[in-house]
Amino acid sequence: MGCYHERQRLNGLLFHSDSKFATWEAFALMPSNVNPSEWQDRLRIAETIYAIRCGKEPELAPFVVLAELRQLIYKQTKAKNAARVYSQAEIDSLLDALETRSDWSELLRWLKNVRKETEKRYQASRTQLPLAA
């Protein structure tokens, strides 16, 4: 399935699914400027949460998707433009904290906040770069 179709399915699931997702959750799973390689992961996570909230059996075990959600959060600190804004100690601390979290909403909040913090740090680092002559 192409990136466009995954994005469209995710959009429909998050924003047109009988309010199964809070607005902040939808924007955490579908922010602007998503790396194309993340669409499938984000869609699987949303489909699993949606199935659970509808009382259905999800295709993937919840613990698998929780692991994928943790990995997606970790990826936010490893993007090309973000790699220089986190120290290894900060990343290690984040990973340790993520391992103890097992609540969907809490992990979605982490996804939103880590992405927001990464963008903020990246923008701050860009303003501090010397201009090329």
The residue-averaged pLDDT of 2-31 equals 85
Does the residue 131 lie in any domain?
no
Q: What is the pLDDT of residues 63-116, one digit of tens each?
A: 888 888 888 888 877 766 666 788 888 888 888 888 888 787 888 888 888 888
Does the residue 51 lie in any domain?
yes
With 0-12 CB in 10 A as exposed, 13-18 as middle and 19+ as buried, what is 63?
Answer: exposed
Does the residue 9 lie in any domain?
yes
Domain that holds residue 38: 3-27+34-126
Q: What is the CA radius of gyration of the chain?
A: 16
Please enumerate, as own/partner, the contacts of 42-46 that have beta carbons within 8 Å and a separation of 24 or more.
Answer: 42/6, 42/10, 42/72, 43/6, 43/9, 43/10, 43/13, 44/68, 45/69, 45/72, 46/10, 46/13, 46/14, 46/21
Does the residue 87 lie in any domain?
yes
Does the residue 132 lie in any domain?
no
Does the residue 97 lie in any domain?
yes
More confident residue, 38 or 1: 38
> Which residue's entry shows tokens 């194309």?
36
Alpha carbon distances (Å) from 84 to 30, 44, 106, 124: 24, 29, 26, 12
Which DSSP category does 100 fall into? T
How many structural domains compose the chain? 1
Does the residue 95 lie in any domain?
yes
